[in-house]
Protein backbone atom coordinates (compact mmCIF):
# COMPACT_ATOMS: atom_id res chain seq x y z
CA UNK A 1 0.00 0.00 0.00
CA UNK A 2 1.18 3.53 -0.82
CA UNK A 3 2.28 5.77 2.04
CA UNK A 4 -0.20 8.57 2.78
CA UNK A 5 0.48 12.27 3.32
CA UNK A 6 -2.30 14.07 5.16
CA UNK A 7 -2.83 17.77 4.49
CA UNK A 8 -4.22 20.48 6.76
CA UNK A 9 -5.08 23.64 4.83
CA UNK A 10 -5.74 27.02 6.52
CA UNK A 11 -7.85 29.48 4.48
CA UNK A 12 -10.31 28.40 1.82
CA UNK A 13 -11.00 31.35 -0.42
CA UNK A 14 -9.01 32.35 -3.55
CA UNK A 15 -5.76 30.55 -2.78
CA UNK A 16 -7.54 27.86 -0.77
CA UNK A 17 -9.49 26.98 -3.90
CA UNK A 18 -6.37 26.99 -6.11
CA UNK A 19 -4.41 24.84 -3.65
CA UNK A 20 -7.32 22.42 -3.11
CA UNK A 21 -7.47 21.84 -6.85
CA UNK A 22 -3.73 21.12 -6.88
CA UNK A 23 -3.85 18.75 -3.89
CA UNK A 24 -6.76 16.87 -5.52
CA UNK A 25 -5.10 16.58 -8.93
CA UNK A 26 -1.41 16.16 -8.17
CA UNK A 27 -1.44 12.39 -7.68
CA UNK A 28 -3.61 11.91 -10.77
CA UNK A 29 -1.10 13.59 -13.12
CA UNK A 30 2.29 13.21 -11.44
CA UNK A 31 3.65 9.78 -10.66
CA UNK A 32 4.02 10.16 -6.90
CA UNK A 33 4.92 7.24 -4.62
CA UNK A 34 2.45 8.52 -2.07
CA UNK A 35 -1.27 9.04 -1.65
CA UNK A 36 -2.48 12.56 -0.83
CA UNK A 37 -5.31 12.91 1.63
CA UNK A 38 -7.18 16.24 1.84
CA UNK A 39 -7.57 15.79 5.58
CA UNK A 40 -8.74 19.10 7.15
CA UNK A 41 -9.71 22.49 5.77
CA UNK A 42 -9.83 25.46 8.15
CA UNK A 43 -11.56 28.85 8.20
CA UNK A 44 -13.22 31.02 10.85
CA UNK A 45 -16.94 30.72 10.08
CA UNK A 46 -18.44 27.24 10.68
CA UNK A 47 -21.10 27.35 7.93
CA UNK A 48 -18.70 28.75 5.32
CA UNK A 49 -15.87 26.35 6.08
CA UNK A 50 -18.29 23.42 6.00
CA UNK A 51 -19.52 24.52 2.57
CA UNK A 52 -15.90 24.87 1.40
CA UNK A 53 -15.10 21.40 2.76
CA UNK A 54 -17.87 19.91 0.69
CA UNK A 55 -17.17 21.90 -2.49
CA UNK A 56 -13.40 21.56 -2.46
CA UNK A 57 -13.28 17.91 -1.44
CA UNK A 58 -11.86 17.82 2.10
CA UNK A 59 -12.56 15.16 4.72
CA UNK A 60 -12.89 17.36 7.82
CA UNK A 61 -13.52 21.03 8.59
CA UNK A 62 -12.22 23.09 11.49
CA UNK A 63 -12.57 26.68 12.70
CA UNK A 64 -9.41 26.62 14.80
CA UNK A 65 -6.06 26.61 12.98
CA UNK A 66 -4.24 25.67 16.22
CA UNK A 67 -6.23 22.43 16.37
CA UNK A 68 -5.23 21.64 12.76
CA UNK A 69 -1.57 22.50 13.28
CA UNK A 70 -1.41 20.28 16.37
CA UNK A 71 -3.35 17.35 14.92
CA UNK A 72 -0.89 14.41 15.11
CA UNK A 73 -2.47 12.82 12.02
CA UNK A 74 -1.52 15.76 9.78
CA UNK A 75 1.85 15.81 7.96
CA UNK A 76 1.67 19.07 5.97
CA UNK A 77 0.28 22.53 6.80
CA UNK A 78 -0.67 24.65 3.80
CA UNK A 79 -1.14 28.35 4.69
CA UNK A 80 -3.56 30.35 2.49
CA UNK A 81 -4.63 33.09 4.89
CA UNK A 82 -3.97 36.87 4.81
CA UNK A 83 -0.37 37.92 5.43
CA UNK A 84 -0.74 38.93 9.11
CA UNK A 85 -1.36 35.30 10.09
CA UNK A 86 1.48 33.61 8.16
CA UNK A 87 4.16 33.98 10.85
CA UNK A 88 2.05 32.80 13.79
CA UNK A 89 0.65 29.78 11.94
CA UNK A 90 3.96 28.78 10.33
CA UNK A 91 5.94 29.05 13.57
CA UNK A 92 3.35 26.91 15.40
CA UNK A 93 3.36 24.40 12.52
CA UNK A 94 7.17 24.18 12.60
CA UNK A 95 7.10 23.56 16.37
CA UNK A 96 4.55 20.80 15.77
CA UNK A 97 7.00 19.21 13.29
CA UNK A 98 4.90 19.74 10.14
CA UNK A 99 6.17 20.36 6.63
CA UNK A 100 4.93 23.82 5.57
CA UNK A 101 3.79 25.34 2.30
CA UNK A 102 3.12 29.05 2.84
CA UNK A 103 1.58 31.55 0.46
CA UNK A 104 3.55 34.63 -0.51
CA UNK A 105 4.59 37.13 0.66
CA UNK A 106 6.18 34.99 3.37
CA UNK A 107 5.33 37.66 5.97
CA UNK A 108 4.47 41.33 6.49
CA UNK A 109 8.08 42.36 7.07
CA UNK A 110 11.68 41.21 7.51
CA UNK A 111 11.41 40.62 11.28
CA UNK A 112 8.48 38.21 10.89
CA UNK A 113 10.22 36.41 8.04
CA UNK A 114 13.39 36.04 10.13
CA UNK A 115 11.39 34.47 12.97
CA UNK A 116 9.78 32.05 10.49
CA UNK A 117 13.15 31.03 9.04
CA UNK A 118 14.54 30.51 12.55
CA UNK A 119 11.53 28.34 13.48
CA UNK A 120 11.75 26.02 10.44
CA UNK A 121 15.53 25.72 10.86
CA UNK A 122 15.24 24.86 14.53
CA UNK A 123 12.53 22.30 13.87
CA UNK A 124 14.27 20.94 10.74
CA UNK A 125 11.00 20.87 8.78
CA UNK A 126 10.58 21.01 5.00
CA UNK A 127 9.37 24.44 3.91
CA UNK A 128 8.42 26.26 0.73
CA UNK A 129 6.87 29.60 -0.26
CA UNK A 130 4.20 29.39 -2.94
CA UNK A 131 5.68 31.57 -5.68
CA UNK A 132 3.81 29.44 -8.19
CA UNK A 133 4.99 31.46 -11.21
CA UNK A 134 8.38 29.72 -10.93
CA UNK A 135 6.56 26.55 -12.05
CA UNK A 136 5.04 27.93 -15.23
CA UNK A 137 6.72 25.58 -17.73
CA UNK A 138 7.85 28.54 -19.88
CA UNK A 139 9.50 30.16 -16.82
CA UNK A 140 11.16 26.89 -15.80
CA UNK A 141 12.41 26.71 -19.40
CA UNK A 142 13.80 30.28 -19.13
CA UNK A 143 15.74 29.14 -16.06
CA UNK A 144 17.14 26.13 -17.92
CA UNK A 145 18.06 28.20 -21.00
CA UNK A 146 19.92 30.77 -18.88
CA UNK A 147 21.70 28.01 -16.91
CA UNK A 148 22.63 26.30 -20.20
CA UNK A 149 24.21 29.55 -21.42
CA UNK A 150 21.76 30.27 -24.24
CA UNK A 151 21.65 33.95 -23.27
CA UNK A 152 25.45 34.08 -23.00
CA UNK A 153 27.72 34.48 -20.02
CA UNK A 154 26.42 37.94 -19.12
CA UNK A 155 22.90 39.08 -18.38
CA UNK A 156 22.51 42.80 -19.03
CA UNK A 157 18.85 43.51 -18.24
CA UNK A 158 15.95 42.09 -16.20
CA UNK A 159 12.80 44.08 -16.96
CA UNK A 160 9.55 42.97 -15.34
CA UNK A 161 6.07 44.44 -15.05
CA UNK A 162 3.13 43.12 -13.01
CA UNK A 163 0.04 45.20 -13.73
CA UNK A 164 -3.58 44.86 -12.61
CA UNK A 165 -6.58 47.22 -12.50
CA UNK A 166 -8.98 45.86 -9.85
CA UNK A 167 -8.90 48.91 -7.54
CA UNK A 168 -8.98 51.81 -10.02
CA UNK A 169 -12.61 52.52 -8.97
CA UNK A 170 -12.39 54.90 -5.94
CA UNK A 171 -15.50 53.19 -4.53
CA UNK A 172 -13.79 49.82 -4.37
CA UNK A 173 -13.85 48.96 -0.63
CA UNK A 174 -11.00 48.92 1.85
CA UNK A 175 -10.33 45.15 1.72
CA UNK A 176 -7.53 43.53 3.76
CA UNK A 177 -5.02 43.93 0.91
CA UNK A 178 -5.28 47.74 1.33
CA UNK A 179 -4.53 47.75 5.09
CA UNK A 180 -0.88 47.67 6.12
CA UNK A 181 -1.54 46.06 9.53
CA UNK A 182 -2.85 42.98 7.67
CA UNK A 183 -1.06 43.01 4.33
CA UNK A 184 2.30 44.55 5.29
CA UNK A 185 2.49 46.47 2.04
CA UNK A 186 0.16 46.82 -0.96
CA UNK A 187 0.97 46.15 -4.59
CA UNK A 188 4.59 45.85 -3.48
CA UNK A 189 4.28 42.73 -1.25
CA UNK A 190 1.37 41.33 -3.21
CA UNK A 191 2.57 41.34 -6.82
CA UNK A 192 5.98 43.06 -6.93
CA UNK A 193 7.05 40.18 -4.62
CA UNK A 194 6.36 37.74 -7.48
CA UNK A 195 8.53 39.53 -10.04
CA UNK A 196 11.25 40.07 -7.43
CA UNK A 197 11.14 36.32 -6.81
CA UNK A 198 11.43 35.61 -10.54
CA UNK A 199 14.35 38.04 -10.82
CA UNK A 200 16.19 36.32 -7.95
CA UNK A 201 15.39 32.90 -9.44
CA UNK A 202 16.40 33.68 -13.03
CA UNK A 203 19.12 36.33 -12.74
CA UNK A 204 20.54 36.40 -9.19
CA UNK A 205 20.67 38.31 -5.92
CA UNK A 206 19.92 42.02 -5.89
CA UNK A 207 22.65 44.37 -4.62
CA UNK A 208 21.03 47.82 -4.59
CA UNK A 209 17.71 49.50 -5.35
CA UNK A 210 16.13 52.89 -5.96
CA UNK A 211 12.33 53.13 -5.96
CA UNK A 212 9.22 55.24 -5.91
CA UNK A 213 5.86 54.22 -4.42
CA UNK A 214 2.48 55.89 -4.73
CA UNK A 215 -0.98 55.66 -3.18
CA UNK A 216 -3.36 57.23 -5.69
CA UNK A 217 -6.56 56.83 -3.65
CA UNK A 218 -6.03 57.45 0.05
CA UNK A 219 -9.53 56.80 1.45
CA UNK A 220 -12.03 54.11 0.56
CA UNK A 221 -15.44 52.90 1.76
CA UNK A 222 -15.29 50.32 4.56
CA UNK A 223 -16.51 46.87 3.45
CA UNK A 224 -19.37 46.92 6.02
CA UNK A 225 -20.68 50.26 4.67
CA UNK A 226 -20.08 52.10 7.97
CA UNK A 227 -18.06 54.95 6.46
CA UNK A 228 -14.59 55.50 5.05
CA UNK A 229 -11.16 54.29 6.10
CA UNK A 230 -7.60 55.23 5.23
CA UNK A 231 -5.64 53.23 2.64
CA UNK A 232 -2.34 52.46 4.40
CA UNK A 233 -0.46 50.70 1.61
CA UNK A 234 0.99 51.56 -1.80
CA UNK A 235 -1.11 51.32 -4.97
CA UNK A 236 1.93 51.21 -7.26
CA UNK A 237 5.69 50.80 -7.08
CA UNK A 238 8.42 51.27 -9.60
CA UNK A 239 12.11 50.69 -9.05
CA UNK A 240 15.44 50.22 -10.66
CA UNK A 241 18.36 48.30 -9.25
CA UNK A 242 21.50 46.32 -9.83
CA UNK A 243 22.02 42.59 -9.39
CA UNK A 244 25.25 41.39 -7.74
CA UNK A 245 26.32 39.98 -11.13
CA UNK A 246 26.07 43.45 -12.69
CA UNK A 247 22.75 43.01 -14.50
CA UNK A 248 20.37 45.99 -14.34
CA UNK A 249 16.88 45.57 -12.88
CA UNK A 250 13.80 47.53 -13.91
CA UNK A 251 10.55 46.54 -12.19
CA UNK A 252 7.05 47.99 -12.00
CA UNK A 253 4.00 46.73 -10.13
CA UNK A 254 0.65 48.49 -10.15
CA UNK A 255 -3.04 47.93 -9.50
CA UNK A 256 -3.82 51.09 -11.50
CA UNK A 257 -3.21 49.97 -15.08
CA UNK A 258 -6.73 50.10 -16.54
CA UNK A 259 -7.24 47.18 -18.89
CA UNK A 260 -4.44 45.11 -17.38
CA UNK A 261 -5.93 42.18 -15.44
CA UNK A 262 -3.02 39.95 -14.45
CA UNK A 263 -0.38 41.27 -16.80
CA UNK A 264 3.05 39.84 -16.01
CA UNK A 265 5.71 40.50 -18.61
CA UNK A 266 9.42 39.78 -18.44
CA UNK A 267 12.26 40.55 -20.78
CA UNK A 268 15.77 39.35 -20.12
CA UNK A 269 18.62 40.47 -22.35
CA UNK A 270 21.96 38.66 -22.30
CA UNK A 271 25.19 38.77 -24.30
CA UNK A 272 24.01 36.06 -26.72
CA UNK A 273 20.27 36.64 -26.85
CA UNK A 274 17.00 37.67 -25.28
CA UNK A 275 13.89 36.07 -23.78
CA UNK A 276 10.42 37.56 -23.54
CA UNK A 277 7.45 36.16 -21.57
CA UNK A 278 3.87 37.38 -21.20
CA UNK A 279 1.69 35.58 -18.62
CA UNK A 280 -1.49 36.25 -20.60
CA UNK A 281 0.09 33.98 -23.26
CA UNK A 282 1.76 31.70 -20.71
CA UNK A 283 2.31 28.69 -22.97
CA UNK A 284 4.69 30.67 -25.18
CA UNK A 285 8.21 31.99 -24.90
CA UNK A 286 9.96 34.37 -27.32
CA UNK A 287 13.65 33.71 -27.81
CA UNK A 288 16.15 35.70 -29.86
CA UNK A 289 19.62 34.24 -30.42
CA UNK A 290 22.58 36.13 -31.89
CA UNK A 291 23.87 32.70 -32.96
CA UNK A 292 21.13 32.27 -35.56
CA UNK A 293 22.40 32.85 -39.11
CA UNK A 294 22.48 36.49 -40.19
CA UNK A 295 19.49 37.39 -42.25
CA UNK A 296 17.38 34.78 -40.45
CA UNK A 297 17.56 36.31 -36.99
CA UNK A 298 14.41 37.27 -35.15
CA UNK A 299 12.39 36.29 -32.09
CA UNK A 300 11.38 32.60 -32.22
CA UNK A 301 7.99 31.73 -30.84
CA UNK A 302 8.37 28.57 -28.74
CA UNK A 303 5.12 26.82 -27.84
CA UNK A 304 6.11 25.38 -24.46
CA UNK A 305 3.80 22.36 -24.44
CA UNK A 306 6.04 19.40 -25.31
CA UNK A 307 7.14 16.46 -23.20
CA UNK A 308 10.74 17.75 -23.34
CA UNK A 309 9.67 20.96 -21.61
CA UNK A 310 9.58 21.21 -17.79
CA UNK A 311 6.47 19.65 -16.16
CA UNK A 312 4.74 18.96 -19.50
CA UNK A 313 5.27 15.20 -19.36
CA UNK A 314 2.66 15.13 -16.60
CA UNK A 315 0.05 16.94 -18.70
CA UNK A 316 -1.27 16.83 -22.26
CA UNK A 317 0.09 16.05 -25.77
CA UNK A 318 1.97 18.89 -27.58
CA UNK A 319 -0.11 21.98 -28.29
CA UNK A 320 -2.77 21.12 -25.70
CA UNK A 321 -2.20 24.17 -23.58
CA UNK A 322 -2.28 24.50 -19.79
CA UNK A 323 -3.41 27.36 -17.50
CA UNK A 324 -3.14 29.12 -14.16
CA UNK A 325 -4.22 26.18 -11.97
CA UNK A 326 -1.46 23.96 -13.38
CA UNK A 327 1.17 26.27 -11.85
CA UNK A 328 -0.10 25.27 -8.39
CA UNK A 329 -0.20 21.56 -9.22
CA UNK A 330 3.38 21.73 -10.56
CA UNK A 331 4.44 23.57 -7.38
CA UNK A 332 2.75 21.06 -5.11
CA UNK A 333 4.22 18.11 -7.07
CA UNK A 334 7.72 19.44 -6.33
CA UNK A 335 6.77 20.16 -2.72
CA UNK A 336 5.46 16.61 -2.17
CA UNK A 337 8.71 15.15 -3.61
CA UNK A 338 10.64 17.43 -1.22
CA UNK A 339 8.59 16.27 1.76
CA UNK A 340 9.26 12.64 0.82
CA UNK A 341 13.01 13.35 0.57
CA UNK A 342 12.95 15.42 3.78
CA UNK A 343 14.71 18.30 2.01
CA UNK A 344 13.22 21.75 1.24
CA UNK A 345 12.74 22.88 -2.33
CA UNK A 346 12.99 26.36 -3.85
CA UNK A 347 11.67 28.89 -3.09
CA UNK A 348 12.29 28.12 0.58
CA UNK A 349 11.47 30.33 3.57
CA UNK A 350 15.05 31.66 3.17
CA UNK A 351 14.06 32.82 -0.31
CA UNK A 352 10.95 34.38 1.21
CA UNK A 353 13.17 36.24 3.68
CA UNK A 354 15.53 37.41 0.91
CA UNK A 355 12.45 38.66 -0.95
CA UNK A 356 11.28 40.57 2.15
CA UNK A 357 14.72 42.22 2.35
CA UNK A 358 14.37 43.50 -1.22
CA UNK A 359 10.82 44.71 -0.50
CA UNK A 360 12.07 46.55 2.61
CA UNK A 361 15.01 48.10 0.75
CA UNK A 362 12.71 49.48 -1.97
CA UNK A 363 10.38 50.89 0.73
CA UNK A 364 13.32 52.52 2.51
CA UNK A 365 14.60 53.92 -0.78
CA UNK A 366 11.20 55.40 -1.67
CA UNK A 367 10.86 56.90 1.81
CA UNK A 368 14.35 58.43 1.81
CA UNK A 369 14.37 59.28 -1.91
CA UNK A 370 17.79 57.60 -2.10
CA UNK A 371 19.58 54.43 -3.26
CA UNK A 372 19.64 51.58 -0.71
CA UNK A 373 22.17 48.73 -0.69
CA UNK A 374 21.29 45.21 0.40
Ligand X SMILES: NC(=O)c1ccc[n+]([C@@H]2O[C@H](COP(=O)([O-])OP(=O)(O)OC[C@H]3O[C@@H](n4cnc5c(N)ncnc54)[C@H](O)[C@@H]3O)[C@@H](O)[C@H]2O)c1
Binding site for ligand X (CB under 6 A): 10-16, 42-44, 65, 80-83, 85, 103-104, 130, 132, 190
Phi, then psi, of 283 in degrees rounded to 5: -90, 0
Give the nearer residue to ligand X in terms of CB position, either 128 or 314.
Answer: 128
Give the nearer residue to ligand X in terms of CB position, either 106 or 142.
Answer: 106
284: β partners = 303
Spatial distance between the Cα atoms of 258 and 88, rounded to a whole number of angstroms: 36
Q: What is the smallest separation between the CB atom of 306 and ligand X, expressed in angstroms?
A: 25
Q: What is the smallest separation between the CB atom of 198 and ligand X, expressed in angstroms?
A: 12
Spatial distance between the Cα atoms of 34 and 163, rounded to a whole number of angstroms: 39
Give the nearer residue to ligand X in terms of CB position, either 50 or 208.
Answer: 50
Give the nearer residue to ligand X in terms of CB position, either 104 or 309.
Answer: 104
Residue 199 DSSP code: H
Give the DSSP letter string of 264-333. EEEEEEETTEEEEEEGGGTTEEEEEETTSPTTS-S-EEEE--STTSTTGGGS-STT----HHHHHHHHHH
Give the nearer residue to ligand X in terms of CB position, either 82 or 152.
Answer: 82
Q: Are 177 and 144 in contact (CB under 8 A)?
A: no
Give the nearer residue to ligand X in terms of CB position, either 20 or 132.
Answer: 132
> Alpha carbon of 168 to those of 171, 172, 220, 229, 279: distances in Å?
9, 8, 11, 16, 21
How many residues would you count in the chain?
374
Q: What is the smallest separation between the CB atom of 62 and ligand X, expressed in angstroms?
A: 9
Q: What is the smallest separation between the CB atom of 273 and ligand X, expressed in angstroms?
A: 29
Q: What is the smallest separation between the CB atom of 153 and ligand X, expressed in angstroms?
A: 32
Give the nearer residue to ligand X in terms of CB position, either 84 or 208.
Answer: 84
User: Residue 284: which residues within 8 A CB-CB, separation 6 or more?
Assistant: 138, 277, 278, 301, 302, 303, 304
Q: What is the smallest separation between the CB atom of 265 and ligand X, expressed in angstroms?
A: 16
Q: What is the smallest separation between the CB atom of 9 and ligand X, expressed in angstroms?
A: 10
SS3 percent helix, strand, coil of the chain, rounded to 5, is 40, 25, 35
Amino acid sequence: MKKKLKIGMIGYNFMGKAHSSAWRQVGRFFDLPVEIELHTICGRTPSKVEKARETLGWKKASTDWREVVNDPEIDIIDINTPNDTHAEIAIAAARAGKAILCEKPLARNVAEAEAMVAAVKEAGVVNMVCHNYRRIPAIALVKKMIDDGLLGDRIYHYRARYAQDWITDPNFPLVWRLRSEIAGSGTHGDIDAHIIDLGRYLVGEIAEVCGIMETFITERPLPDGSGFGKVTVDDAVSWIGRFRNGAMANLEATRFANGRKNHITLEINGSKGSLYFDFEDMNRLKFFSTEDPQGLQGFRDILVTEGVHPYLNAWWPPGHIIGYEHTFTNTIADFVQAVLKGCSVHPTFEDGLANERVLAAVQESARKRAWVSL
